[in-house]
A and B are shown apart, each in its own frame.
Chain A
């Protein structure tokens, strides 16, 4: 069979990703059918059936590529079946085989029984037989791969023995209800077994389950795919970059592009390795583990999961939002990728909604919840009016009666909507804990409209209207409210208390902040101000102590609610002082921005005078070269070695240095790079930095002619020997260039800097000067220049050895860090990458 036939019939559907093994297999679906006959193919072009091989609709597709006997396999579990994959080799397809692993007696018996049972006479019997067969398929438990069409007709759907048959809402089994009410934690809520599904419903859930797994897989794949794209781009830029001479005008741009891609790669790696992403994998696992049990007596399907589907959807949505937020925050270099992630997240959320609505979390469920909130609001209003009646002596009867009427209407609406649902839907919705509780509440609080007084609320929040101007009173009030919080109380009671605590906390902070601002603005020294800020920060921190509670859960609740507020107080401490009038007040609804990165500083000094400076560019280059050599000396900049090599290459080749000279120069720098990996770290890095100075200096030498030699020389040796060598080389090059051009500048002398130029030290080494004079008459060859530069580099490095080895001791910490990275098994490249990342 030609491969083209396969391609004619099938198309790639999606990729299945195994993140742990980093494997991707391709899923194929028939072009003419979305639901059945799917395959998946591994890296070796082996392909396997991914659907239920016993399904009639799958059979016609699988028979093309596999030999199997459907009757032989019909009663077998997955473990008993062996699949020899079909294979595409050289454009043709080798048929695979699906067979039993071993034929056991029990199986044979079942088979016989099956054959005997198999009716083929009439449609009804056929239908029953098919149903039985599909039920047995269920036993194979290929939950995620089953794809069964919905051939059922209404007649075959049996009445649900578990559904309630009367049309009134019944509040039954209070003892069970009590238990359920108390067990309201989000974790470990299991879908109640008294929600059952018929075959049709079960298949729908399976399809949604599969769709969700597919969505999540695609999402993961998108991340992996984009990660690879960035990785490849980064490598491509690196390949260009490492061979690019630094004098190329695109050098700096390419360097920036490389850093950008590296930043992006870190960004996507961080997302993939984030806790949010791991939670997504847990969610995927939870979806995969939704199990379906078949009750043979009732012929119904019961679906259980570790977590209630609505809670699962909420959690998933939260995690996906967090991932989307991470994606939006990062520059990942592709709007297309961001859009595709957004779409995939939307698909998952939609399918989650489909899933939980199958368990009764329909629009009506949310309507009931809203109605219940409305009833509670009205009840609180009634209590409020009653309190006012007591205080003001004024009657609020009309308002109270209207509210009671409204409550009654809302209750009746809820009841009637539930009662009008089809039996199965009604059963599902009334099995949800929230709805059970709502119904219970409604039934237990029958309040005749406007005749009897509504029940007194069991709680009163302490003096909500009272204003505290004294901070001690406020503190006591907060502590008092915190101590009375009871998690078993009604949600609205707890919320009211939390709102009151918040109000008091804001008031307390306001009093303290005003006192602080007063002191701060009168403080004379920076130290005094700093001291006040520290005290104030500690004061805000102490607000957390007011929220302590012996009950851990309550304390967590309080922390979750008020920590952001206290953090906000902290961030506002300095913003509101007169010293910072330009800083606008933060919008309390706006999320606090990430604090600016803390940069260690030595101290702050005011600028009291400025003066413009006229530079001669060459001298500026020299000074900057020295500066860069000195300030990079103790640290690693991974691009340093590349820069040195490129600079040497560029200058050397343009000056026509021979291979031997170039090789020697390179070997100095390469030696340094290699040594980084071998552990002699600080020493070589320092040497490298000096060499960098030489390299960049050398560019200046070539680029701007003789006058730039100062830069070259200062760069070459970094420190100390600048003047001596600088002068000698300048003179030599000047001589060389005499015939071609007049020198552009005099050798710098000690001129005041603001007059014209910042001058590098003049040579004082008379012997060198003499040597220069001697050589004036003989123009240097390119090789001689190269040799001199080379020997000076070596000399400079050697001279610094002693100094450097002392510094290496001081950099013990740095060494330890490197050792640690090495122990973690990082290769040289990874080590350098790690350094890029840390920068």
Chain B
């Protein structure tokens, strides 16, 4: 699974994968829930851990924890990079 993908989960919810990071070999995504009707992003955000089992891919939503906050730092850093890149393009 890669970022910039919309995934549909087995409970029929859709998420846009905004960003990804790999920590100790485990892959995490920063995702926003997509409204099924309007197809627009909502204000429900999740951090998922990807789990691969054979052909199947599962998403584990993380609960609040120190670890989740640590991952957020990573996503924040990525975000700052994105901003930086955009600036360079603009210039």
Contacts and interface: CB of A to CB of B under 8 A. Distances in A.
A624 B86 contact: no
Nearest to B11: A605
A106 interface: no
A635 B89 CA distance: 33
A705 B90 contact: yes
Given A611-B6, A700-B83, A708-B86, A605 B58 contact: yes
B4 to A, nearest CB: 5
A767 to B, nearest CB: 24
Contacts of A702: 87
B8 to A, nearest CB: 4
B58 A606 contact: yes
Contact of B83 (A614, A621, A754, A759): A621
Interface in B62-91: 62-70, 72-73, 75-77, 79-84, 86-87, 89-90
B16 A758 contact: yes
A607 B7 contact: yes
B9 A631 contact: no
Given A604-B60, A606-B10, A607-B57, A759 B40 contact: yes
B91 to A, nearest CB: 9
A608 B8 contact: yes
Contacts of B11: 605
A637 B69 contact: yes
A608 B13 CA distance: 10
Interface residues of A, number: 66
A613 B3 CA distance: 9
Interface in A591-638: 596-597, 599-615, 617-618, 620-621, 623-628, 630-632, 634-637
A639 B72 contact: no
A635 B71 CA distance: 12
A620 to B, nearest CB: 7
A599 B8 contact: no
Given A637-B73, A750-B38, A758-B40, A601 B63 contact: yes
B61 A610 contact: no
Contact of B43 (A613, A617, A626, A634): A626
Contacts of B87: 247, 699, 702-704
A256 interface: yes
Nearest to A702: B87
B50 to A, nearest CB: 9
Contacts of A635: 64, 69, 72
A754 B79 contact: no
A219 interface: no
B58 A617 contact: no
10 contacts: A247-B84, A247-B87, A618-B86, A703-B84, A750-B38, A753-B6, A753-B34, A754-B6, A758-B40, A758-B41
Interface of A: 246-247, 249, 251-252, 255-256, 259, 579, 596-597, 599-615, 617-618, 620-621, 623-628, 630-632, 634-637, 639, 643, 696, 699-700, 702-705, 708, 719, 750, 752-754, 758-761, 838-839
Given A249-B84, A621-B79, A719-B43, 17 more contacts: A246-B80, A599-B65, A600-B65, A602-B61, A605-B58, A611-B6, A615-B4, A620-B4, A620-B18, A627-B30, A627-B32, A634-B64, A699-B83, A700-B83, A703-B86, A761-B40, A839-B66
